[in-house]
A and B are shown apart, each in its own frame.
Chain A
Amino acid sequence: GQQVMQIPQYQHVQEGEDFTTYCNSSTTLSNIQWYKQRPGGHPVFLIQLVKSGEVKKQKRLTFQFGEAKKNSSLHITATQTTDVGTYFCAGSRNQFYFGTGTSLTVIP
């Protein structure tokens, strides 16, 4: 079956440092979605990438979709304490294939 892995599993950064999480799929994805789950909360949709090599930005967040459509990354510039949470990538077609998630801790 389709597997979506993320690295790292955990990341601790000092506030103001950058952060990147990587998502890798065992198969080619038609699209990639990113979700954020705050501590104690539920996953919330952030963005979707569809095109090979696509790059999208949301303020300090930059999302990339690989040329082969098998990997993706989320980069946060100058992290803030509000960025704390777990970030999931997910491929979707007839269901959602969620990645293993990266838990981000931001140290003030």
Chain B
Amino acid sequence: DAGVIQSPRHEVTEMGQEVTLRCKPISGHNSLFWYRQTMMRGLELLIYFNNNVPIDDSGMPEDRFSAKMPNASFSTLKIQPSEPRDSAVYFCASSFLQGTGDTEAFFGQGTRLTVV
């Protein structure tokens, strides 16, 4: 397996534009996580899905952020409209969780977003 695949790797956009980040989890994993990482706030969980269903989106900053998982092999994180403070590295991770917590999280390479 190629691991968790994220695209794009880098994105530079102007304030106000829509940004869509994409993630392909590892096949067979039932859980998918979106994280945002900044120097100031560290690694923050934005949202996670279990079996394609959003379970906890309390980390989503505001209505400008939305995430979808239409099927087990694809997820998107959308920011509309984008703002400079959204600049960060966005990670997608997947895992196979059964409630016993005995598997690890596999992270993608991340998308470095810069909003100017």
Query: How many residues of chain A are within 8 Å of chain B by beta carbon?
Result: 22
Kindly list chain B residues whose C-beta atoms are within 8 Å of the C-beta of A88: 43
Closest to A6 in B: B42
Kindly list chain B residues whose C-beta atoms are within 8 Å of the C-beta of A101: 42-43
Asked if B108 and A96 make an inter-chain contact with CB atoms under 8 angstroms apart, the answer reads no
Kindly list chain A residues whose C-beta atoms are within 8 Å of the C-beta of B104: 33, 45, 48
Query: How many residues of chain B are within 8 Å of chain A by beta carbon?
Result: 26
Cβ proximity bits B17-57 to A, threshold 8 Å, 1 near / 0 not: 00000000000000101010000001101001010000110
Asked if A95 and B107 make an inter-chain contact with CB atoms under 8 angstroms apart, the answer reads no
Asked if B91 and A90 make an inter-chain contact with CB atoms under 8 angstroms apart, the answer reads no
Kindly list chain B residues whose C-beta atoms are within 8 Å of the C-beta of A59: none
B-to-A contact residues, CB < 8 Å: 31, 33, 35, 42-43, 45, 48, 50, 55-56, 91, 93, 95, 97, 99-110
Q: 5 tightest CB-CB pairs across the interface, nearest first?
A: A92-B101, A45-B104, A42-B107, A93-B101, A43-B107
